[in-house]
Amino acid sequence: MTVEAPAAQSFAHRGKFFNVLGLALKNAGFTILTLTLYRFWARTSMRRRLWSRVEIMGDPLEYTGSALELFRGFLISLPTFFLPAIFVFYIAPLLMDPVSAFWLAMGFYLVAVPLVAAARYLMRRYQLSRTRWRGIRLGLAGSVGAFAWASFGWTVLQTLSLGWYTPVSRMNRAKMMWENARFGDQPFEFIDDGYPAQRGLWWPFTLGWFAIPISLIAAFVILALIFASLFGSGVIAPVPGQSADPMFNAALGIGVFALALVIVLLLWAPYNAAAMNRIASLISPTVQ
Kindly provide the b/e burial profile for residues 234-268, where b requires at least 16 CB atoms within 10 angstroms of the residue's own CB. eeeeeeeeeeeeeeeeeeeeebbeebbeebbeebb
Tell me how far the alpha carbon of residue 27 is from its chain's centroid.
19
Beta strands 136-140 and 11-13, pairing class: unpaired
3-state secondary structure of 239: coil
The total of other beta-carbon atoms located within 10 Å of residue 205's CB is: 22
Each residue's pLDDT expressed in tens, for the chain with a length of 288 residues: 455 555 555 567 777 777 788 899 999 999 999 989 999 999 999 999 999 988 888 889 999 999 999 999 999 999 989 999 999 999 998 988 889 999 999 999 999 999 999 999 999 999 999 999 999 999 999 999 999 999 999 999 999 999 999 999 999 999 999 999 998 888 988 888 889 999 999 999 999 899 878 887 877 777 777 666 766 565 555 555 455 556 666 766 777 777 778 888 888 999 999 999 999 889 887 655
Q: Could you tell me the CA-to-CA distances from 104 to 23, 48, 78, 156, 228 in Å, in that order?
A: 43, 41, 19, 18, 48
Task: Please indicate, yes or no, whether the overall pTM of this predicted structure exceeds 0.85.
Answer: no
First-residue to last-residue Cα distance in the chain: 25
- Which of 205, 208, 172, 206 is closest to 190 using CA atoms? 172
pLDDT of residue 219: 75
CB 44 within 8 A of CB 70: yes
The span from the CA of 70 to the CA of 88, in Å, is 25
pLDDT of residue 286: 62
Q: Between the CA atoms of 31, 32, 34 and 35, what dihedral angle is there, to the nearest 10 degrees?
A: 110
- Cα torsion angle, 151, 185, 52, 130, sign: negative
pLDDT of residue 260: 79
Query: DSSP states of 169-185 as a string?
Result: HHHHHHHHHHHTEEETT
pLDDT of residue 29: 93
Query: DSSP states of 65-99 as a string?
Result: --HHHHHHHHHHHIIIIIHHHHIIIIIHHHHS-HH
pLDDT of residue 38: 95
Query: DSSP states of 185-208 as a string?
Result: TEEEEE---SS-TTTT-HHHHHHH
Backbone angles phi, psi at 190, to 5 degrees: -100, 95
pLDDT of residue 11: 65
Beta bridge partners of 139: 182
Tell me how far the alpha carbon of residue 164 is from its chain's centroid.
18
Instruction: Give the contacts of 162 (CB within 8 A, at least 6 positions apart).
Output: none
Q: Between the CA atoms of 191, 193, 194 and 199, what dihedral angle is there, to the nearest 10 degrees?
A: -100
